[in-house]
Amino acid sequence: MKETEPYLKILNNLNEYLKKVNFKEILKNYKIELYKGGNYKPGRDHTAYAYIESIGHDSINEYDLYLKDLLPEIKIDTYRETGVIWSKKHEDYDSEKDEKYALNLHKSIKYRAKLLYNI
């Protein structure tokens, strides 16, 4: 019974919960972007990496499965390379394709959410 209590609380107070949800604000804060970086460790292997990640989903009530589905938490590793020569690792990675993918994913998820949430 304890696992279902948070869900039942939302259902029992649905009108109050829906009045408090500011979907436009949640949608405005939700973003999907490409992040690039690395770790430089003198005398050891260096790491270059890139990943696509969503932000802003933490403002959604964790028990609101509908909004969690509309604006999912996303983390996709797109590039990871380890080696001794730091600058070479970053030169090898062409992020243009990943940047386009992140932008298209961002646009399509927000478009779908607007349609299904009816705003």
Render each residue's pLDDT in the chain as its tens digit; 119 residues. 677 787 777 777 777 878 888 999 999 999 999 998 877 776 667 777 889 999 998 889 888 888 999 999 999 999 887 775 655 556 667 789 999 999 999 999 999 999 988 76
Task: Give me the sheet containing 46-55, strands edge to edge.
Answer: 31-39, 46-55, 75-83
pLDDT of residue 18: 80
Evaluate whether 110 touches 56 at the Cβ level (below 8 Å).
no
Evaluate whether 62 touches 84 at the Cβ level (below 8 Å).
no
Evaluate whether 74 touches 53 at the Cβ level (below 8 Å).
yes
| This prediction's pTM | 0.75
